[in-house]
Homo-oligomer: A and B are copies of this chain.
């Protein structure tokens, strides 16, 4: 297989480890823990994995260890650094006993259920060190939730003599890892389960987890592109660029990219929801920025839009909920496409009708007509960046007639997501992921299950990083999912009283009016440490508090 010059050179990079992990460790246990909410219920659901202490590793004495086998699974969407978690785990397992083996289950959790796997070797691992992607074993979205899956899994785990399973995933996958840990513990199956915090969305973080891996690299890749577009926009001086960024639930990516690039506007879904802004409020907010810059002769700019924005606008959320109800009726389903729109209009509430009628025709049609296999409106198909620029253009036209706006408005649209999920990891993610994987081997050797591998203090040099484990139950509470209360890891949305948002909020009026663009450029792997080894602005601001 032909590989690029960068891959060849980068393969030699030796990721940094926390000082404590460089030799034999001893686990220092803290006090018993509690879940972040619904303590009684969570405790009842996880009798074997609830209340365990937080663990920190310190330098310890070397002890001989029997060979042991470990399995690993990549779950859900890709994130830069997944291959380094695996290579870190591989090196960690081998360092404890060279005869230990690491197996990878193929194409996600489904590989465990269907008994599809591969054994890692030195050569195999070496060709994936410090590379992006999840292609080493593939990923998948099968959810490990059913007893039949757990029982199918134990068969192959026993056959391969696997002592512990590491699951790399987001909040849902880690919740399921804990359910599996609890099940195997309750059944005395003798298989430990360890989780690893992954997601480019950055919404798996809390008091115990500083950041999910991949967020750093993905945001730096998007910020490179946003910076390049801003430089173009500031040179040509004739376009407004509407840039949508991946992230359905939380706006961490948009916020981080805004902190890195200082665009003229960045919408934060959580703020839009909290202020109960209407779609027209959002459009007016943008149009006013465009008009103010036009008054200075600046008919150009950049606007960052989180992918999930539209679902956070309360009026749209309400409209969508009613559309789902109205269109689900058997009566509606028997109608032709154009009749469905009339049906919708005559069956939804007055306030929803007003919102529906305010949408550009193409978007209204899409909302009323295109549904997913469960019959739900497909919000994700809406090109929010085009919806907003169309509505901004219409509003500016009105303002022009009213004499409130003098300028030219032309828009370009972008959507960045796939461009960053599989980028080669930054030094930060390469080190962080390798440490998470290596650390997981120490949790396994110490007999832990139902823990997440955790590395803290990552705004400091790697030698000062703190390695350990946190019981997954500690991060859980109960939330309603598909009509049922379920134990889940609480998703971290952008906190409007958190340091990153507050910094953004204090600076954005200046960024809107002036041209304060920053051009971060491409991720660098060699060169000055202030260029190559920085964490995200989000994390730096959070840790500086």
Seen from chain A, the residues whose Cβ lies within 8 Å of a Cβ on chain B are 1-10, 77-78, 107, 131-135, 138-139, 221, 224-225, 227-229, 231-237, 241, 260, 262, 412, 414, 418-424, 516, 518-528, 530-531, 534
A78 to B236, CA, bound (A): 8
Write out the residue numbers on chain B whose beta carbons fall within 8 Å of the beta carbon of A3. Answer: 518-519
Partner of A133, one of B231, B516, B523: B231
Partner of A139, one of B7, B236, B522, B523: B236
18 pairs, A vs B, C-beta closer than 8 Å? A2-B262, A4-B519, A5-B528, A5-B530, A7-B519, A9-B531, A77-B236, A78-B236, A132-B228, A132-B519, A133-B231, A232-B418, A232-B422, A241-B418, A424-B522, A522-B524, A524-B525, A527-B527
Q: Measured between C-beta atoms, what is the minimum distance from A406 to chain B in Å?
A: 19
A237 with B421: CB separation less than 8 A: no
Q: Measured between C-beta atoms, what is the minimum distance from A55 to chain B in Å?
A: 32
Q: Measured between C-beta atoms, what is the minimum distance from A85 to chain B in Å?
A: 14
A55 to B1, CA, bound (A): 45
B521 with A7: CB separation less than 8 A: yes
A2 with B419: CB separation less than 8 A: no
Q: Measured between C-beta atoms, what is the minimum distance from A305 to chain B in Å?
A: 16
Write out the residue numbers on chain B whose beta carbons fall within 8 Å of the beta carbon of A235. Answer: 78, 133-135, 138-139, 422
Q: How many copies does the complex hold?
A: 2
Q: Measured between C-beta atoms, what is the minimum distance from A68 to chain B in Å?
A: 28
B2 with A237: CB separation less than 8 A: no
Nearest CB in chain B to that of A226: its residue: B419
A9 with B530: CB separation less than 8 A: yes
A5 to B526, CA, bound (A): 13
A233 to B133, CA, bound (A): 9
A166 to B532, CA, bound (A): 37
Nearest CB in chain B to that of A78: its residue: B235
A414 with B418: CB separation less than 8 A: yes
Nearest CB in chain B to that of A229: its residue: B418
A420 with B6: CB separation less than 8 A: no
Write out the residue numbers on chain B whose beta carbons fall within 8 Å of the beta carbon of A418. Answer: 228-229, 232-233, 241, 412, 414
Partner of A522, one of B134, B224, B237, B534: B224
Q: Measured between C-beta atoms, what is the minimum distance from A219 to chain B in Å?
A: 14
A521 with B228: CB separation less than 8 A: no
B5 with A231: CB separation less than 8 A: no
> Most B CB atoms within 10 A — which of A1, A5, A10?
A5
B228 with A531: CB separation less than 8 A: no
A521 to B8, CA, bound (A): 11
B527 with A9: CB separation less than 8 A: yes
A519 with B236: CB separation less than 8 A: no
**Contact A131 B7, CB 8 Å, known A221-B228, A232-B78:** no
A422 with B4: CB separation less than 8 A: no
A528 to B5, CA, bound (A): 9
Partner of A521, one of B4, B227, B521: B4
Nearest CB in chain B to that of A527: its residue: B526
A516 to B3, CA, bound (A): 9
A77 to B232, CA, bound (A): 9
Write out the residue numbers on chain B whose beta carbons fall within 8 Å of the beta carbon of A516. Answer: 1-2
Write out the residue numbers on chain B whose beta carbons fall within 8 Å of the beta carbon of A523. Answer: 522
Nearest CB in chain B to that of A261: its residue: B4
| Interface pairs A-B: 7 shortest CB-CB | A526-B527, A522-B522, A231-B422, A133-B231, A6-B521, A134-B235, A232-B422
